[in-house]
Structure formats: C-alpha cells, structure tokens
Amino acid sequence: MGQALAFSDDPEETVYESSAGARLDATPLDRTPTGAASLESIPGLWRGDTLARVELESLPTGYDALNAQLPGGGWPLGALTEILNDRCGIGELRLFFPALAALSRQAGAPPVILLQPPYTPYAPAFAGAGIAPEQVLLLRTPRPEDALWACEQCLKYAPRCALFAWPQKLKPQDLRRLQLAVERRPVLAVLMREARAAQQSSAAALRIALKPGADGRQLHLSILKRRGALIARPVIVEPPSPLFFLPDHHEEPVHALDRPVPAATAA
Amino acid sequence: MLWTALYLPQLPLDCHAQTDAQAPFAIVEKRRIHMANAAARAAGVRADLPLSAALALEPALQSHEREPLLEKAALEALSLWALQYTSAVSLAAPYGLLLETGGSARLFGGLEALLQQITDGLAAQGHSALLASAPTPAGALMLARSGYAEHVTTLPELRHRLPVLPVEALQSAQAYSATFESLGARSVADLLALPRDGMKRRFGDFLLDEIDRAFGHVPDPLRPVTLPAAFSTTLPLPAPAESSTTIIYASGRGLRQLEGFLRAGKHAVDRIELTLHHERQSRHDSPDNVTPLTLHLMQPSADARRFILLLTEHLNRHTLKRRVERITIAAPQLLRADEITHSLLLEEEDAAKSMRDLLERVHARLGPEAVRQLQVKAEHRPERASGDTALLNTSHKPAAAIKKPKEPLPPPVFGPRPAWFIDPPLPLDAIGPNPIYEGKLDLQEPPEHIESGWWDSKPIQREYFVARTEEGRLLWIFRDERRENRWFLQGYFS
C-alpha cells in the first residue's frame, strides 16, 4: 500500500499521511435499486446477496474484478485461502505476484515464505516481478510430517507475512487446526492443493479452483467458497505473463473476403 | 566498563550538510583555509593556505567561515543521536564523543555489530569518525585521536598499548607541542620517562591527570548527556539551495538525529515542524523570512525513513520560491512509546522479535539449513543466476537479514524467467524439429539466446523459448546447440 498523501495550500503547509492498512469495507455484489430499498431501511437485516461485512484485513489482489468478489476487497489475511489446481505453469503463483510486489514495497518488508514448494523457486523471476528475493524465504522440512507443524508455527507466530504451502495430504481436522492458527493473524495463508481436494470439505475461508485460459494469458477463477453468497460465473483475471509476442490460439487469420466491403463508388 | 570513543576530526567540515561530495568545499578561519574536503584537497587546497591562493587553485571552491558554535551544536546533536546505543554518552569536546558500550553491546548483537551500526549511522548523517574502544574513556579517546581504530578490552592490554602512541594523542598536549619537541618527547612513553613532579611544575595538573585517567590509575568521572524534553536542531546548508534534493538530503540528516533521539528516550512523534530559512535577497528583507512546514503522521513513529518519505512527497510537489540557507527541525511534543497502542514503533520491534523467535523454533526442530533466503546472482547461465543461502548463516540476527534492499529492484535485464526452475533440465520429446509436451507447443519468437561460460568447464549455448501447451501452461524450454539441438524443459511459469 503506498502512502497516499495530500496537502493543503494553507500558509502553514500541512502534510497528512494516510494510515497504512486502512480497512476496505466489503462491497455489495449487485445492488439492484429495484424493490430492495424497503429492505435496506430495516436496521440489522443482513441481506443474503451481500458479501459478509467481515472486519477483515486484506491484501488487494491487484485485479479489480477479483477484489470486487472478495470480502474485504482482497486476499484475506487471517484466514486460509485454498488454490486448487493440477496444472503447474498456468499462473497459479503469478496470480499473487501483484499483491506480493505491493507487500514487498511495504515498510518492514514482510517476508514471503514458501513451504515445501514442488520445484526450486527461481530468484530472478521474483526479482523481475518486483518481489525482493531477500524477502522470499524457502522452508523445507526433511520429513514430510514436519511440514504441517512448520505451517502451523508460521501461521501462529510469524509477523505480517505471506505464506504459501504445498501440503501433501490434508485431513479436514488439519485444515481446521490451520484455520484456527491463522485466525486474526496478519498473515496471508495460501494452501496450494490438487484439484480433487474440491470434493473434500474445508475450513478455509476462500477456495478457488483455477482453469487456464487457452491463450495462456488469462486465468479463470472459480470461487468455490467465500464469506458471502456464492457466485456461479468464474472471475477472469490476467496475471503478469511472460508472453509478449505469442498470438492467441483462437485468433483466426483475417481473410480478405471477411473484410467489410468498401462502399462502391459511383462511377 | 568499555568505552568507545567517536573522534570526529572533520567536524568543522562535516557539520555543514553537503549534498555533493564532489564539490570542492572548505572551512575558512581568519582568511586562511582551516579544513578542506577531499575534492578541494585534490585540487591542491591545503590547510593554512590563504583563501585567495586557494581560490586561485580551485575557482569553484565554496567556502564557509568556521563557526565553533555550529560545531558544538553538531556534536551535541550527535550525542543525543548516540543515546539510542547506550544510556551513557558524554561529550569530549571539541571533536569527541564517548559511549559506554560494554553494557549495551549485547543488545545489538555484539560489539562489532554495534560499532558497525554506529559507523553506518554516522555515515548516513555525513559524518566521518574514527572509533576506538578501551576500558578507560581517556584511553579510548587517545587511541581514536591517534588514528588507531582499535578495540582494546582489558586494562593491562591498554596500558601496554598507550605508551607507543604519539604525544598528540593527549588532548592536553595540544598546547605544548613545541615544548615537547624541544624536550624530544614524541611518544607517550617519552613523557612517562620524565620525572612526574617536574612535569607537574611545567605543565600543570591537567597533563598528568589525563595520563593517569587514560591508564586507569585515577577514576574518570564523566558528565553524562541527558535527554532534553524536546528536540530541535538547525542544519546549515553549505550554499543556499533551491533544489528539493538538497533540502531533503540535509533534512534527512536532522531527521535521523531525531530518530536516534526518539529511540533513546523510547519516544515517538506524530508531528514534526520543519522551518526552511530563506536567503535574504536584499537588506530590506526581514530576517525571519521562512517557510514553516508541518509533517503530520497518522500513527506516531520514530522511523526516520517515514519522515523522509513524507517530506520527499511534499517537496516533490512544491517549487520553492526562494533559496534556502538553513533548516530547523523541531519535535515540540514527544509521545511516550509505551503509551501508544499499536504504534508502528512497537509493531516493528514486535515483528522482528516474533520472526526471530519463530526462526529459532524452526531451526531448533528442523536443523540450521531449513530456512533459506533467495538470492539473485550476477550470472548469465540460468543454472547459476539464482541461489539460496541458509538464513542462519547469512547473519547473526536472522530478522535483520530480511531487509528491504535500499534501492528499488532493477528491472529484469534478461528475458522472462520462470518462478519454478528445473535443474537438471528434463529432456523433451520432439517430432522433427518441434518439441512436444502434452501435445504440440506454441513457441514465442524471438527466442532468447544464451551463450556463456566458454571460459570454464560448463559452457552453454542455448535458445530459450517461452512455450505454451495446448492446455495453456507456460514452460521455459531450450534447444541445446551443444547437444544436437535437443529440447529440454527448464522451468514452469507458475
């Protein structure tokens, strides 16, 4: 979060600093003005179609379309987020790069912890995305059963940070335990899990299944669970991409015949 | 007790906040050069040279009349700043400060780490100092004054060390240098060889007393610096300035002093008052031609970086109507840090502490290699451009290692790089010249050609492509020109 500033042109000039981490109030989904006005006048009535007005801190995702669908307006802090995906390389991590780059610019440089990642994290990629490599901590546990312990420790005790974990097997009670550990902590906790985990119930506050767009640029996010009403349509975002020149799959060549016919000129 | 002496021989020069070290600058006393900076010395400007002669050597020389009061104020400001490192700070006028570091070194991760912090802090304020430590304050000063950056921790060692120092190491010897020369006394040992009562008659009590205090024969009561109730400092600019960079630079120095002052007293501020004193353009200008400027912080803080950021933001949007010759920084109201709930001051300390505790636990259970920190390396070969080091070895204080780099990250110099790296690379199948991975691959043209390492045993010659699978996965693959143009998978753009 940048420190937005404003100043007045008083003779005695004054600079104000914005408070970092200002809470973003949850936004209603589709506030259709028709017929709902009478309901809104009733105090204390919670409407099912609004996102939960949770007093949650969040980390803006960097995608407006996604922020609008998340309670708190960003990746939740102090709650588990599950990313369900089997296809490595569709942008499952790039999805978080805008938020992590913003985190990297914050005072105190909160660390980004990678717990048991499936491959070796490559420092130039993080640096290129604006995430200071010094901030990225790689945590590997020699025994797999230690991973869960380490995950819980980080969620419970780490200062403001982002944790990405690739847990091998998670039972529902493990998830509950982790969710309990992270509650009210200023921690972004992302569990990267395989797609079939969607069948399993989960204590995570946010569950998102990923599907790649065929062009390799877009990512389709199906929000399976969030604090608030469900949405059926996937949210489409475009994470930072290494593709610059590759044309889209479905871009058909424009044939001469398809072009609009120039208006015939009167002879 | 261990005393660290900070000797600032360049104080007359350094107390002027110079932005451009390349600009020749000198302090003048009675129309003669008193002290010149490196740029001026390079042009041949020496101490004692008449100013006119110096200007003939270096026409661009900026000069300023020596102001002993300013030097005194700068030394006092530094003494307040130094209170963040120890509760016992004393002035050793004219150019010295004494810090009791034996007690506080442990809090800063050892004497070496503490001294490094002090040196860095001084450098950030544009001061160059010689640091020396000894069990007696006068002894530490003698070491520093004679240019030995040594840290002697025991009294016998110090007593062994002091006699070889030149007589100039003694503050009270400055007035008698001619006499010493006629006596043939060059080192402290030469003085010690003289009869004591003769010395006393000739030089008074001061010289013998200083020697006795240095050797630890008599106690050396020092008057400790105490924190005043409010902070105020004045920073003169070497030359009137209108660029915001110069003003930010000079103010940064004062704001860092303020940080030291606040941390020493466990205070924070939510309001800082800056006053820019403008140059008088004519005799009729009122002398108090100033621009007042108040920095408001939403949360009380003691962090100079935040103050500087705030000031920078402000000045960058502003053009100054007149040139500034002096800046005053004042913090009229101090807030006690322990009374501030959720202050950033505490939050940052808490964060560092909880991170340290966490890492300690993780290391204790999973071994010292468990937590590693990523590192970019200056190498063209992809296999060597990235690394990680065990966090435990990179620094004695793990939490301090997770620091933001001072500079913003440079943009990637090369092409795209994948977040997941595969080493050794996996061979890919190919149909004819086209690589295959779960079907046909789309390759992004042009490829990035990497050819490097011809000077050692692992040369590479490769064409790297970003490749898209039919499913939309992005891979980093290469064609190895040294291995019959075979294809390999090197990473995933996860």
Q: Which residue has the higher pLDDT, A137 or A215?
A: A137
pLDDT greater than 60 at residue A198 = yes
pLDDT (mean) for A108-120 = 91
Minimum mean pLDDT range among A130-144, B176-190, B329-343, B446-460: B329-343
From the list A7, A119, A245, which residue is nearest B314 (CB)? A7
**Cα separation of B335 and B393, whole Å?**
38
pLDDT (mean) for A154-174 = 90
pTM recorded for the entire structure: 0.50
Q: Summarize pLDDT for B175-188 with one digit per residue, the tens.
A: 787 888 888 888 89
Interface test with A, best of B359, B402, B438, B471 (most A CBs within 10 A): B402
Interface of B with A in 451-470 (CB under 8 A): 466, 468-469
- Asked if B473's CB is within 8 angstroms of A89's CB, the reply is yes
Whether the Cβ atoms of residue B109 and residue B142 lie closer than 8 Å to each other: no
Interface of B with A in 403-442 (CB under 8 A): 403-405, 409-412, 414-423, 442
**Side chain identity at B159, as an amino acid letter?**
R
Kindly state whether A16 is in contact with chain B, defined as any CB-CB distance less than 8 angstroms. yes
Mapped onto helix, strand or coil, the DSSP state of residue A207 is strand
pLDDT greater than 50 at residue B360 = yes
Q: Summarize pLDDT for B300-346 with one digit per residue, the tens.
A: 788 888 888 878 877 766 677 788 888 999 998 888 765 554 445 55
Cis peptide before B424 (omega within 30 of 0): yes
Give the rounded percent of residues in chain B with a pLDDT score beyond 90.
29
Q: Which residue has the higher pLDDT, B353 or B42?
A: B42
H, E, C per residue of chain B = CCEEEEECCCHHHHCCCCCCCCCCEEEEECCEEEEECHHHHHCCCCCCCEHHHHHHHCCCCEEEECCHHHHHHHHHHHHHHHCCCCCCEEEECCCEEEEECCCCHHHHCCHHHHHHHHHHHHHHCCCCCEEEEECCHHHHHHHHHCCCCCECCCHHHHHHHHHHCEHHHCHHHHHHHHHHHHHCCCEHHHHHHCCHHHHHHHHHHHHHHHHHHHHCCCCCCCCECCCCCCEEEEEEEEEEECCHHHHHHHHHHHHHHHHHHHHHCCEEEEEEEEEEEECCCCCCCCCCCEEEEEEEEEEEECCHHHHHHHHHHHHHCCCCCCCEEEEEEEECCCEEHHHCCCCHHHHHHHHHHHHHHHHHHHHHHHCCCCEEEEEECCCCCHHHCEEEEEHHHHCCCHHHHCCCCCCCCCCCCCCCCCCEEEEEEEECEEECCEEECCCECEECCCCEEEEECCCCCCCEEEEEEEEECCCCCEEEEEEECCCCCEEEEEEECC
Mapped onto helix, strand or coil, the DSSP state of residue A84 is strand
Whether the Cβ atoms of residue A191 and residue A204 lie closer than 8 Å to each other: yes
Q: Which residue has the higher pLDDT, B125 or A174?
A: A174
In the structure, what pLDDT confidence band is assigned to residue B2 with cuts at 50, 70 and 90?
A: very high
Q: What is the CA radius of gyration of chain B?
A: 30
Kindly state whether A250 is in contact with chain B, defined as any CB-CB distance less than 8 angstroms. no
Chain B positions touching A111 (Cβ under 8 A) are: 355, 402
Interface test with A, best of B311, B316, B409, B477 (most A CBs within 10 A): B409
pLDDT greater than 80 at residue B258 = yes
Would you tell me the crossing angle of helices B137-145 and B196-215 to the nearest 10 degrees? 100
Both structure tokens of B298: 């939403």
Interface of A with B in 110-139 (CB under 8 A): 110-111, 117-128, 130, 132-139
Chain B positions touching A241 (Cβ under 8 A) are: 474, 493
| Nearest CA-CA distance, residue B414 and chain A, Å | 9
Residue with tokens 């920084």: B329
Kindly state whether B400 is in contact with chain A, defined as any CB-CB distance less than 8 angstroms. no
Interface of B with A in 375-394 (CB under 8 A): 375-377, 385-388, 391
From the list A91, A127, A157, which residue is nearest B358 (CB)? A157
Phi, psi (deg, nearest 5) at residue A153:
-60, -45
Q: Summarize pLDDT for B204-217 with one digit per residue, the tens.
A: 888 888 999 999 99
**Cα separation of B398 and B351, whole Å?**
12
pLDDT greater than 60 at residue B74 = yes
pLDDT greater than 80 at residue A87 = yes
- Asked if B291's CB is within 8 angstroms of A109's CB, the reply is no
- Return the pLDDT at B406: 45
- Return the pLDDT at B381: 87
From the list B373, B391, B494, which residue is nearest A91 (CB)? B494
pLDDT (mean) for A96-114 = 89
- Asked if A127's CB is within 8 angstroms of B410's CB, the reply is yes
pLDDT greater than 70 at residue A267 = no
From the list A17, A132, A153, which residue is nearest B405 (CB)? A132
pLDDT greater than 80 at residue A234 = yes
- Asked if B401's CB is within 8 angstroms of A88's CB, the reply is no
**Cα separation of A3 and B3, whole Å?**
41
Phi, psi (deg, nearest 5) at residue B398:
-55, -45
- Return the pLDDT at B284: 66
Give the rounded percent of residues in chain B with a pLDDT score beyond 70.
90
- Return the pLDDT at B347: 61
Interface test with A, best of B298, B374, B404, B407 (most A CBs within 10 A): B374
Mapped onto helix, strand or coil, the DSSP state of residue A94 is helix
